[in-house]
Amino acid sequence: MWDYTEKVLDLFYNPKNQGAIEETNEPGIAVVFGEVGSIACGDALRLHLKIDQPQDTILDARFQTFGCTSAIASSSALTELVKGLTLDQALKVTNREIADFLGGLPEAKMHCSVMGQEALEAAIYKYRGIEPEAHPEDEGTLICSCFGISEPRIRRAIVENNLTTAEQVTSYIKAGGGCGSCLYPIDDLIAEVFKEKANITKVATEIAFAKETKNPSPTQPLTPIQKISLIQKVLEEVRPLLIADGGDVELYDVEGDIVKVLLKGACGSCPSSTSTLKGLIETTLKEKVLPSLVVQAL
């Protein structure tokens, strides 16, 4: 038997906010739902949101879940966490926060908290007119054919939850839990992610020592540290514009004149993300740092 916390058991036996939200004709109020999983795979969740459109705020949240104790408790916890948040704030809720709200989950059941996070994103993206198939996590190389899970989605789970083994990845998003043929590729992806994180940590440490660096004279070439510091500074100037539209950007790596960034929120899922990438971010970096810079999104 799984070792569940008292909070998990309480929300399983006495779930809060279970059920659907009825459609309404009330002005300025929208009702939307997002769903993930399938009964065939064992777990399915439909999350309903009632949204105050002028304030862009979640007034109510309810759920309908087919699944185990952890799935029901995680869904109930999610509804409690997001009520009262703006949509942008809700998009920042992680599966780890859902698990922490419950006092923890058995590692083999962490995929239930991930399912909640994905249903929340699906509902908000749907409200904003972004279809689930446009999400970046659904694109890229297919790693797990049994559950239809792509490389970007596995990479995201590894990064956000600091996963170190293929078995952990299976616990969080089920990849590798079918025939098992993708376990070795998942191990390779974990090694690749941690190598990239090590490089980012090294660069971040160097930037910390160069925070006071000022723009060099146009006649002097930029050092690598100066270039990274200036790029980070410009991205901080651009972020408020993206956040206002429900998105965000984060510097991932710099290789020569190639600037790799992570587009988040609505920016990462919007069909016009290429325009944002080139028309705003790259153009601004070219003007304020180097005209030779090229921006790529991961």
- Give the active site residues: 41, 112
DSSP-assigned letter for residue 180: S
Q: How far apart are CA 108 and CA 174, in angstroms?
A: 9
Vertex 152, ends 57 and 201: CA angle to 5°?
Answer: 90
Let me know: does 160 contact 94? Beta carbons within 8 Å: yes
Q: What are φ and ψ of residue 174, in 5° steps?
A: 75, -10
In order, the DSSP letters of 16-30 are: SSBS-------TTEE
Let me know: does 252 contact 200? Beta carbons within 8 Å: yes
DSSP-assigned letter for residue 296: E
Q: How far apart are CA 273 and CA 94, in angstroms?
A: 23
Report the DSSP pairing between strands 149-150 and 43-52. Answer: unpaired
